[in-house]
Amino acid sequence: MAGPLKAIGVDFLREHNSHLHHTNDYNNLSLIVRRGEGFQLKLTFSRELKDQDKITIQLRIGENPKQSTGTLLSLNARAGQEINRWRATISQTNGKQCLIVVTSPADAIVGKYQLSVKTGPNIYQPEKSFFYVLFNPWCKADSVFMPGDAERAEYVLNDTGCIYVGSTKNVQGRPWNFGQFEEDVLDCCMYLLDKSQIKQNVRKDPVVIARSMSALVNANDDAGVLFGNWSGRYAGGTSPLAWTGSAPILQQYYKNKRTVNFGQCWVFSGVLTTVMRCLGIPSRSVSNFASAHDTEENLKVDIYLNEKSEKIEELTTDSIWNFHVWNEAWMKRPDLPKGFDGWQAIDATPQEQSQGIYQCGPCPVTAIKKGEVYLPHDSKFVFAEVNADRVFWLVKNVDGEMKYDKLREDTKVIGKSISTKAVGQDTREDITLQYKFPEDSPEERKAVQTACSYLNSTNLGVCEIKPPSEPLKANLQLGMEGETTLWPGNPIDLNIVVKNESAGAWTVDLTACCQMESYIGKVEASLANIKQTVQTEGKTVIQIPLRIAPETYIKTMMAVEDELLVKINIIAEIRETNEKLTEELTLTFQYPPLRVEMPETAKINEDFKCAFVFKNTLSIPLENCKLHVEGLGFFRMETFDQGDVAPGDIFKSKIICTPRKTGIKKIVAKLNSTQVKGITVEKLITITG
């Protein structure tokens, strides 16, 4: 007589299921599926199955699973009835084995589930009983559904990419390895979900998860992943400029359960893109150039200059970052009125608190464009980042009192060249028009008026309909002649130019200050000052030379572990008319290239050589050179100490690579030294079977 039925084995059919669920790239031994899609299990029993045998698939998620919260599910595979829209059905039986198809709803809880099989009084739990359920951008019923194979390939499956940095007139792509499929990254994301303390039955909502992850990727409130540091001093951690990708950061965090030092905006954004893509939410890193950090919610960034044209740091609480990188995540917004689905801005860089902690978004990009800044979350802050006005003030000490003169208000300098990597190619896509209408268009003015009607401040200069400014009586223009990109070690050799096109006769008191700043506008050193009175009579162009010896700025480059740039502020006061002009100019550094030498193709599991070659073509030695390299699918991030490299010298570092996966793969390298930071290169290689 046959005994009671007992399950003795569960095969999760990982290869078959992961191919159907687009999860075969994950470096994880467990089954990973996407919600809203069926997956197969092969069950083995102690005897042949009979029609009356009851088979129940039990699923649990979280520490205290309950049927009432949908975290404990008992699915009768014989009856095939739905429980919380989950279903298990027997699709095939063969002697002591059967195939069961388990289907989850398109809004299933995302996380790590435990599976057991109940047959009568017997419960069998396999040795490896866990599987993961992720968001599903391929499923039309999922709130993160994204139409288009190319878009899903880019925003969900691409594990490498590019983050744009630099300045408005010098946009540069910085390679970044997202590495969402690397070892321990998915488990780190599960750890973050648990750390978020979001209730299990809410972990189905991408809006809640995106907001929570924007908080957890920074360390400010919750011992999250990354500690932000803009001090220029990075002892006790890794310089933000040394990271080549997200995986080493998330792996280190998961291994030690301690915050990783250090990050800046592009690092926070890279890591948040990784977390979102890993969980199955389409995501991309977005760079905004001349990005406003408006602390007063008045849509103005006030910059205060002293009588030497130097920026007064203690008065300037607002700032304009040369660039700022945040994220967008793709999802429906059923919590909002119609029309706000699609890309949502989220930001893990800790800038301002939202609801008491450092988190930002998700905020619909369409709401920013239309000025609908009452919509959650943090739309006022993001609107200001791309729309604020820049106001220059001259601060003078007059008879012991500080006098503030408004020099200039710029309405068109903030929020330029908003950039992201294009779909399917290594080129920049400009998405500025997704955030704002063309400058001065009726739609743009309407959007600004709409935004102003929801802001609390009474000091909303940007919202005033300004009368056209009267032309200056003294028709003068300020500018600069000379190279705007500098080779470290060369002198700064420029002319400040006063153009006098109307050939008027004016007496101009001109001051100029040349300062070194970080990308967030923090002044690191004053390099030179000019104070001169010029007479314009009979002259259409007046040139005032600005010469700075290299040793003047090199010592600052050596003292600060950030990439710096040079800002020149000029103030011209015309005595006859009492008019004041100001201009701000930016100079950036350029560096010798780092090269990668390797074959264009290689075979899986066969070694190939990769060499990194650098020649110091500068006139100064580069001290304490460190080469950081990473190749997803080849090797984890490694650092090579190259010591000092004298002018004209070459170094060559070699690494042996063994590819583990087929397809087009990327190697990223970055070189930092005491003098020069952030020289990057990437190279593609095709791995065949």
CA angle 277, 196, 189 (to 5 degrees): 30
324: annotated active-site residue: yes
Tokens standing for residue 503: 């050939």
| CA dist 384 → 5, 289, 465, 480 (Å) | 66, 13, 18, 29
Q: Quote the CA–CA distance of 278 and 40 in Å, as a whole number.
A: 22
Choose among 291, 245, 476: nearest CA to 386. Answer: 291
Of 616, 250, 294, nearest in space to 455 by CA:
294
Query: Buried (b) or exposed (e) across 480-504, using 16+ Cβ within 10 A?
Result: beeeeebebbeebebebbbebeeeb
Q: Residue 149 catalytic?
A: no
In Å, what is the CA distance from 431 to each residue of 380, 596, 623? 19, 31, 39
Q: How is residue 598 written in tokens?
A: 């390797």
Distances (CA, A) of 487 to 196, 617, 643, 665: 46, 10, 21, 32
CA distances from 488 to 19, 594, 621, 678 (A): 51, 16, 10, 13
Point out the catalytic residue in the list 347, 378, 389, 562.
347
DSSP annotation string for 454-502? T---S--GGGS-PPPPPPPSS-EEEEEES-SEE-TTSPEEEEEEEEETT
Choosing from 139, 189, 265, 452, the catalytic residue is 265
Question: Do 536 and 505 touch, CB atoms closer than 8 A?
Answer: yes
Catalytic residue among 22, 324, 377, 628: 324
Cβ proximity of 219 and 226 under 8 Å:
yes
Nearest to 324 by CA among 362, 301, 352, 292: 292
Q: Is 139 a catalytic residue?
A: no
d(CA 65, CA 247): 31
Strands 283-293, 300-305: pairing kind? unpaired
Alpha-carbon distance 342 to 144, whole Å?
Answer: 9
Residues with a known catalytic role = 265, 324, 347
